[in-house]
Amino acid sequence: MAAVDVLLDVQGVTVNFGGNRAVDDVSLPVAQGSLTGLIGPNGAGKTTLFNVVSGLLSPSAGSIHLEGRNISKLSPNKRAHLGISRTFQRLELFTSLTVRENIQVAGEISRRMRGGYSHIQKETDRVIELIDLGDVADSEVTEIPTGLARVVEMGRALMNNPKVLLLDEPASGQTEEETREFGKLLLRLKEEGTTIFLVEHDMALVMSVCDKIHVLDFGKIIARGEAEEIQTMPEVLDAYLGSHEMI
Amino acid sequence: MADFLSFTVIGVAVGAIYAIAASGLVVTYATSGIFNFAHGAVGMFAAFLYWQFRWDWNFPAPLAIFLVIFVFCPIFGALLERFVMRGLQNTMEITKLVVPIALLLLLTGSASWIWGDPIPETLRRFFGPDKKITIGDTFISWHHIIVLIVAVLMAAGLYVVLYKMRIGVNMRAVVDNPELTQLNGGRPVLAASFSWMIGTALAGLAGVLIGSLQNAAINNLALTLLIVDAYAAAIFGKLRSLTLTFVGAIVVGLSISYWNWLSDTGQKWTWLSGFRISIPVVLLVIVLILLPHERLRGAVVSRFKERFSVPTIPKAALWAGVLVLFFAAAVPIAQRKPEALLSTGLAFGIIALSLVLLTGYGGELNLAPLTFAGIGAVVAYQFEVNITKGHINESLSIWGLLLAAAVCALVGAIIALPALRLRGLYQGLVTFGFAIFVTNMVFKQRRTLHFNLPWYGDGEDFEINIFTGGGLFVPRPNWFGIDFRISNSNYMVFLAVVFALIGLGLVALRRSTYGRRLAAMKDSPAASATLGMSLVKMKLSVFALSSAIAGVGGVLYAAQQGASDENSWVITASLPLVLLTVVAGVGYVSGAFAGGILTGVFFVMLGDVFLKLSVDYSAFEWLFTDVVKDFFIFVGPAFAAISLATSPAGFLNDMFDNYRPLTSRRGLPLLSAWVVFQGLFYLWRITDGIGTWTFMLVSLGVALLLPAIAQVIRPDLYIDAKTLKQRREELPLELVGVDRPITAQDVKQADAALQLPVGVSDNDGRS
């Protein structure tokens, strides 16, 4: 793969929590326009890596590059200005605001959203329609089910016109039917040109939408490849289930 | 050299007392996660109790100490843990701060109520003030030696308890991981209870030692704040490490002692004389600033039930109109004193509006709104003195008011700088330290400072004299052709208009882009930052704006009082205002109004009611004045905090729920009937058909009973409200079992959600 095609590049990232090494020398390229998956058992260090990429956590070693530029020293908001958006595994919704306001305020915060108030309103309507939240748009975010709340977080992240969208377990809390629809939505976003970096436990979803999958276990990348390759790798099966059965 | 030695010994002794107090704070914080703001007050109360036993009833010293430190304090600590602190798990940061503040007010209030203030008697040193030993040229008093011995014994005792005894292992395990401790058979509840007993006893010990060290008449607030000085040491130990806490305490003690030495006990550099008392808080703020950067985390607010709805602008405008109308209507019937009280309440309300913006909308903390208010008043006063050159009896200049707002905004932004990196408790402590610093260094300044500004005037000095004569005078305005200076009524309505306008402005602000961003920052700083928000700019702006509001309120409050002194602006005056605003509902403009009225009017008025009763029934005068009246004045505000247990979003939230059905289309006839009744009743009063007391009591009674009356006449109105309340109380499914035990109904619900066939779970919820 040519270097220019790498949009987001994680290079040699290590994170220590006290004496505990949560992420260990992880290097991971996310190609422009790809839908890249990151899987691994609970506690493997996936969310920690997302925190490093989005700037909420400083790594003990290593660096993060966006379009070839080293962004390791930048604050989270500056990274957002450059086009990194994310959702959170533990929901981080704005609970004093309605669903619509959650999405709208993201546009009002974002510097990548050009145009005035009416433009932001239009964009809000567009995103709400895109992610199909019209029915609950005026509800309080505390009143909607967790599965939908994750979609709201994604809509919020989309208002930043991201170059790369980091999704942290977006499908957990969704029904099977919702997850299938969600998979289609991810593919549509990818077609529109958004690069997506996905952490997910729902293997069916990951295997069906991701171009490339990285497997993290005890803070280390133990395997990477396309969906079919990953599913047959014995080390992945061991790490995941302790058995040779995956889905 | 002899001086150096004696100042070192004194410094170490004072440091040792701080170490005792700070260790108590650390022990309780580490096991319960609650920073006991009332720690100093507990120590003060213990010292007063000791005085009672030792010097009033003449018990022998060992018996008095035993009763206070080993009987009263541990029992009090255990009760505190069981009935107050345990309930604070999983509540919002502001609630965790405010409840201990209520306890602080309860203890200081109770001390005033029981003993009067200050106690005219002295708390003497052990073995008397003159008992000392001589080493070379150095004198060391026996009291200091005893303090050192006690501190060493306490440190050894704590070590044995924490590291050698089973209960200590249990306590340390709870610090590391309460859930895991419980799974392994440890008992977190027992550990918490025991740590509060130890913590309270240590606070008491520190109180007795430092109170006796003063060898002077004891004053409850001064004594409380003296132990507050130990907070710096506890923070130095990051509220975890006892060793670092000891080191911090000795540093604080030595700094004070050496400063005394260098400054000739305040004789040198007289304008810095307040610095000695400020050293601990200066150290506190420095330590807080140097603390490692806190990681950005979400506020996890979804777990809490504190949520505030925002009114629409037309609705807010309607209420603003009603408020002004209410005060205008009060003019013909209120006499001079109630008018002055209501004006004070309104001015407090304006200051409390700064909290609505900062805490209610922005989620940031400021425990010292009156400090900013005081700065505003001082600036307006200086402006009158220096710019308008002494025409201070004229009227308040709008420029003075604006300058006050601007200076407060600037100071607010400076205070926000350390607060940028801190949240919750630490942020509260910065504002707390700031308040004590400003009180000592500015408000207590008695000297006139001269500045010769080359570019200003024709060689005249710029003079700053704050409270030189013990008070400052801020004139009232004379604007729009209306004179507010002589007429109290005019000024009261003026304050109501100002409150209504600022309140309306806040609602509009909350509904604007800025307001939504503020709410976003409050709800999740992490998500806001990753969406591109600069938290620095946001926090600076909201601190500046809120401080400006407090400053304006301060100027108007000072003008209401005429001449105000330093005591109007101290931290112990701020705390009740903060507390009562949170109790009413800090997310609402009406919360600020209620907070202001409760602080400025309600408890004073209650006192007056009992005063009147004592005149009418003179046989019970002792009961009505000394007991009941003083109780409401001193202890009343603290009791208001009890309502936080049932209404964490403030009692107004529940009141709104009760009155809301009346404003619906179906409820309108009933509401109109009440308005007509009230109007006619008012007419009866102003035509002198009835007296003011009758009018007030009946009006208030009917207004309060209105929802109950409505429920009887039109029960159908309340069906919606009830379902609403039920829905609000419903827990998210994943918290069932955590916040309350699992019921059979929950199991059914969970089965349905998981699409399990009926009968898979048994009745106990096991699958």
B741 shares a domain with B630:
no
pLDDT of residue B757: 62
Does A133 lie in the same domain as A191?
no
pLDDT of A4 reads 45
- Give Cα A217 distance to the centre of its chain: 18
Taking 3-state DSSP, the helix, strand and coil percentages for chain A, each rounded to the nearest 5, stand at 40, 25, 35
- Tell me the average pLDDT across B669-697: 90
Same structural domain, B723 and B737: no
Is the domain of A72 the same as that of A121?
no
Same domain, B363 and B472: yes
Asked if A70 and A172 sit in the same domain, the reply is yes
Indicate which of A54, A57, A66, A77 best probes the interface with B, i.e. most B CBs within 10 Å of its own CB: A77
Q: Are residues A36 and A124 in the same domain?
A: no
Domain boundary among A161, A180, A200: A161
Confidence at B763, pLDDT banded by 50, 70, 90: very low
Same domain as A238, residue A175: yes
CA B587 to chain centre: 16
Note the helical H segments in B38-92.
Answer: 39-51, 61-65, 73-83
Please, how many CA atoms are within 13 Å of residue B99, restricted to the half-sphere of its CB?
A: 24
Contact with chain A for residue B509, Cβ under 8 A: no
Q: In this complex, do B527 and A88 lie within 8 Å of one another by their Cβ atoms? A: yes
> How many CB atoms lie under 10 A from the CB of residue B416?
25
pTM of the model: 0.87
- Give the list of residues 6+ apart from residue A48 with CB closer than 8 angstroms, or none: A15, A22, A23, A57
Give the burial string for B51-75 (b: 16+ CB within 10 Å, else e): bbbbbeeebebeebbebbbeebbbe
Report residue B116 as tokens. Answer: 């009067």
Domain containing residue B120: CATH number: 1.10.3470
Is the residue at B633 inside a domain?
A: yes
d(CA B613, CA B624): 7
Interface membership of A104 toward B (CB under 8 Å): yes
**B530 and B575, same domain (yes or no):** yes
* Whether the Cβ atoms of residue A41 and residue A239 lie closer than 8 Å to each other: yes
- Give the tens place of pLDDT for each residue, B708-741: 888 888 887 777 655 656 655 555 555 666 555 6
Residue B331 lies in a domain: no
What are the tens digits of pLDDT across the range B222-236?
778 877 788 889 888
On whether both B237 and B102 belong to a single domain, the answer is yes
A102 plus A12 within the same structural domain: no
Do A1 and A78 fall into the same domain? yes
| Residue B663 to chain A, least CA–CA distance (Å) | 22
pLDDT of B181 higher than 80: no
> Does residue B214 lie within any of the structural domains?
yes
pLDDT band at B300 (very low <50, low <70, confident <90, very high): very low
ipTM value for the complex: 0.93
Q: Could you say which of A81, A94, A95 has the minimum Cβ distance to residue B532?
A: A81
Interface test with B, best of A57, A94, A99 (most B CBs within 10 A): A94
Judge contact between B481 and B471, C-beta under 8 A. no
CA nearest B522: which of B294, B296, B298, B295? B298
Both tokens assigned to B233? 């040491």
Which residue's structure tokens are 């058992």?
A41
Closest of A58, A2, A48, A9 to residue A164, by C-alpha: A9
Number of domains in chain A: 2
Over the stretch B479-527, which tens digit does the pLDDT of each residue have?
888 888 888 899 999 999 999 999 999 999 999 999 999 999 998 999 9
Pair A247, A167 in one domain: yes
**Are B697 and B566 in the same domain?**
no
How far apart (Å, rounded) are the C-alpha atoms in residues A5 and B360?
A: 47
Note whether A247 and A166 are same-domain residues: yes
Q: What is the pLDDT of residue B767?
A: 40
Q: Could you tell me which of A23, A17, A31, A15 has the C-alpha nearest to residue A196?
A: A31
Tell me which residues of chain A have a pLDDT lower than 50: 1-4, 244-247
CATH code, A68: 3.40.50.300
Write down the residue that tokens 């002794």 correspond to.
B13
CB contact under 8 A, A97 and B523: yes
Identify the domain containing residue A137 by its residue range: 92-161
Note whether B570 and B668 are same-domain residues.
no
- Residues in B closer than 8 angstroms to A79, CB to CB, are 530
Q: Is residue B296 part of a domain?
A: no
How far is residue B35 CA from its own chain's centroid? 13
Listed residue (B653, B657, B97, B642) closest to B359, CA to CA: B97
Contact pairs from chain A to chain B, CB under 8 Å: 97
Same domain as A147, residue A36: no
Q: Would you call A75 and B307 a contact, using CB atoms and an 8 Å cutoff?
A: no
Q: What is the mean pLDDT of chain B?
A: 83
C-alpha distance from B516 to closest chain A C-alpha (Å): 6
Chain A residue with CA closest to B513: the answer is A108
DSSP B393: T
Query: Which residue matches tokens 């700065």?
Result: B375
Interface contact A144, partner B, CB < 8 A: no
Query: Among B218, B251, B284, where does a domain finish?
Result: B251
CA distance B752 to chain A (A): 13
Measured CA to CA, the distance from residue A82 to residue A162 in angstroms comes to 8
Distance between CA A183 and CA A190 in Å, rounded?
11
CA distance linking residue B278 with residue B438, whole number of Å: 9
Q: Distance between CA atoms of B412 and B365, rounded to whole angstroms? A: 12
Average pLDDT over residues B336-341: 85
B670 in reach of chain A (CB within 8 A): no
Nearest to A29 by CA among A12, A54, A47, A48: A12
Domain presence at residue B262: no
Bridge-partner residues for B120, per DSSP? none
Q: How many domains does chain B have?
A: 4
Q: Is there a contact between B572 and B453 (Cβ–Cβ < 8 Å)? A: no
Question: Is B298 buried (19+), middle (13-18) or exposed (0-12) by CB count in 10 A?
Answer: middle
- From B13-17, B380-384, B458-462, the region with the lowest mean pLDDT: B458-462
pLDDT at B112 (0 to 100)? 82
B530-564: burial string, b at 16+ Cβ within 10 Å, e else:
bbbbbbeebbbbbbbbbbbbbbbbbbbbbbbbeeb
Residue B372 scores a pLDDT above 90:
yes
Residues B569 and B678 in one domain: no
B296–A76 C-beta distance less than 8 A: yes
Q: What is the DSSP letter of B281?
A: H
Residue A169: strand, helix, or coil:
coil
Last residue of some domain: A114, A129, A161? A161
- What is the predicted pLDDT for the residue at B732? 58
Q: Are residues B570 and B669 in the same domain?
A: no
Starting from the edge strand earliest in sequence, which strands make up the sheet with A20-31, in order? Answer: A20-31, A6-17, A61-66, A69-70
Same domain, B718 and B744: no
- The closest of B160, B594, B77, B154 to B360, measured between CA atoms, is B594
Question: Per-residue DSSP letters for B247-280?
Answer: HHHHHHHHHHHHHHHHTTTTTSSGGGTTHHHHHH
Q: B425 pLDDT exceeds 90? A: no
Query: Is the CB of B532 inside 8 Å of chain A's CB atoms?
Result: yes
Q: What does the alpha-carbon distance between residue B484 and residue B477 come to, in Å, rounded to a whole number?
A: 6
Pairing outcome for strands B132-135 and A212-217:
unpaired
Q: pLDDT tens digits, residue range A208-242? A: 999 999 999 999 999 899 988 888 888 888 877 66
Q: Is there a single domain that holds both residue A1 and residue A67?
A: yes
Residues in chain A with CB shorter than 8 Å from the CB of B302 are 91, 93, 95, 142
Residue B746 has pLDDT above 80, yes or no: no
Q: How far apart are CA B626 and CA B617, in angstroms?
A: 14
Each residue of B598-623: pLDDT tens digit? 998 887 777 777 777 778 887 777 77
- For chain B positions 306-345, those within 8 Å of chain A (CB to CB) are 307-308
Which residues in chain B touch residue A57, judged by CB atoms under 8 angstroms apart?
295
Contact B479, B395 (CB under 8 A): yes
A66 and A172 part of one domain: yes
- Residues in chain B closer than 8 A to A101 (CB atoms): 516
Confidence of residue B765 (pLDDT cuts 50, 70, 90): very low
Kindly report, residue by residue over A137-170, the tens digit of the pLDDT.
999 898 888 888 999 999 999 999 999 999 999 9
A77 contacts chain B (CB < 8 A): yes
Q: Which of B522, B532, B734 sits opposite A109 (nearest CB)?
A: B532
Residue B47: inside a domain: yes
CB B107 within 8 A of CB B38: yes
The fraction of chain B above a pLDDT of 90, given in percent, is: 32
Tell the residue number behind the tokens 């992240």, with chain if given. A157
Secondary structure (H, E, C), A43-87: CCCHHHHHHHHHCCCCCCEEEEEECCEECCCCCHHHHHHHCEEEC
Query: Looking at the structure, do residues B747 and B672 belong to the same domain, yes or no?
Result: no
Is there a domain that residue B439 lies in? yes
pLDDT over 50 (residue B302): no
- Give the tokens for residue A98: 């309605």
* Overall average pLDDT of the B421-435 stretch: 84
Task: Examine residue B293 and state whether it is found in any structural domain, yes or no.
Answer: no
Contacts of B482 (CB under 8 A, 6+ apart): B490, B494
Q: Which of A107, A132, A161 is the last residue of a domain?
A: A161
Confidence of residue B388 (pLDDT cuts 50, 70, 90): low
Q: By the CB < 8 Å criterion, does B302 face chain A?
A: yes
Place of tokens 């990548």: A112
Question: What is the extent of the structural domain holding B684?
Answer: 660-728
Contact A92 B519 (CB under 8 A): no
Q: What pLDDT score was predicted for residue B304?
A: 46
Q: Are residues B360 and B426 in the same domain?
A: yes
Amino acid at site B109: G
Order of all β-strands in the sheet with A220-225: A84-86, A164-168, A195-199, A35-39, A212-217, A220-225
